[in-house]
Structure 1
Amino acid sequence: MEAADITQGTWLNPAEKVEATEEGLFVTAKDRSDFWRTTSYGFVHNSGHVLLNDFPQGTAMEASWILDYDQQFDQAGLMMWADERNWIKAGVEYADGAPQLGAVVTREVSDWSVAPVTEWMHQEIHLRMSRQGDAVTIRARSEGPWQLVRVAPLDPELTWQAGIHVASPTRSGLTVRFTSRTTGPADISLHE
């Protein structure tokens, strides 16, 4: 993987504030920002923030950030975007009293998978999306080895973009410090 300019890209829904320093890229979410489509909750939200870059077939993107948020549904990570009916976001979302590693895959409607990662609190989180064929493989880690988060289908005929993602569905004031973004070839194998 090669370092990429973390500030590069085009915002889908510009954030409240973005500041680049030697310590990273600080992104402040707007109040009530989110991405979700219909399932269980019955609403459609397309107001979260993602800094989009090209994400061609056969490539991977990684992002790192500090997990220091602790309010209901605060979230950060990476997101893939084709259009408002086809997108995938993955990362750590604070939900029900704990940080949850998970992914939301949306193909007309959203689904959500999560698992608690309380030991990751206040750590640097690393997340990788690897695009190959009709699927994306999502992996994450803190200090330990990569763990598989999700293998999800995607339509290879659509034009996909990806980038760092932040949203705060229930409050204002969430600021996330992203520390790096890298790009490179897609993972060779689903299983290491």
Structure 2
Amino acid sequence: MSTERVDWSKGKWSHEPVSSTVEADSKLRVEAVESSDYWQKTMYGFQHDNGHSLLAAWEDDKAVEVSFSLDGFTELYDQAGLMLWLDDTHWIKAGVELNDGVPHIGAVVTHEYSDWSLSPVPEWTGEEVTLRASQMNDAVILRARTRNHPWRTIRVARFPYETGKQAGPFLCAPTRSGFKVTFTRWVCTSPDQDIHVDPPLEE
């Protein structure tokens, strides 16, 4: 299939952000609510489900990609990326999160309980990042890249749901107010054919 841009208006916010504005260049500028986050129980015991996800229906025959700028990531746990959603306790968020002053690429996979995997990417500081998810059998392949760095596979995670799935951009600001993210792209495109073959670079 050809790449199809998803209009920002097609999505519905899981929780309304402070502000959400489509700019003249068609980029989406969003400000997160202070203390917004997603997490279920593991290690900390708490449950957070007040992050901001702009969600639209997602079908297995399409990969989904979201791009955004890392400008403005300055405080602990500032985060943005791609959310895959079934319901409040079955979801995956993949993206970049600032941890100890360094951007990290990672994913939180939640099936009743959350887990967290991450890897530092200091060389990505200030760049535009693309997150990609493609369904394969009972799993999703999660990949990420920037304009100056190639695709890397960041996670293969179980996500076996055949119906009711949604996907789209997300952001959270667990520790502060004033966190803003500029999303530059949201597309559906051809799914991965093989985990060992990088998808094409499509703008």
- Do they fold alike, i.e. is TM over 0.5? yes
Q: Deviations over 1:70-99 (max 9, x none)?
A: 210010000011111100000000012210
- Following superposition, the deviation at residue 107 of structure 1 comes to 0.5
- Following superposition, the deviation at residue 157 of structure 1 comes to 4.0
Root-mean-square deviation over aligned CA pairs: 1.1
Q: Distance in 2 between matches of 1:159 and 1:20?
A: 27
- Following superposition, the deviation at residue 155 of structure 1 comes to 2.5
Q: Deviations over 1:3-62 (max 9, x none)?
A: 221342111011110011134100100010000001111100000000001111222110
Work out whether residues 7 and 25 of structure 1, in 8 Å CA contact, stay in contact via their aligned partners in 2: no
TM-score (norm 1): 0.96
TM-score (norm 2): 0.91
Give ranges in structure 2 of 5+ residues lacking alignment: 198-203
Tell me the SS of whatever aligns to 1:178.
strand
Q: Which of 55, 63, 66 lines up with 2:66 in the alignment?
A: 63
Is 2:193 the counterpart of 1:188? yes
1:1-192 equivalences under 5 Å are 1-23=3-25, 24-68=27-71, 69-142=73-146, 143-192=148-197
Give ranges in structure 1 of 5+ residues lacking alignment: none
Tell me the SS of whatever aligns to 2:123.
helix
Work out whether residues 77 and 89 of structure 1, in 8 Å CA contact, stay in contact via their aligned partners in 2: yes
- Quick one: which amino acid aligns to residue 49 of structure 1? H
Count of residues paired in the alignment: 192
Report % sequence identity: 44
Q: Distance in 2 between matches of 1:117 and 1:107?
A: 27
Runs of 4+ in structure 1 deviating by more than 4 angstroms, as ranges, are none
- Quick one: which amino acid aligns to residue 30 of structure 1? V
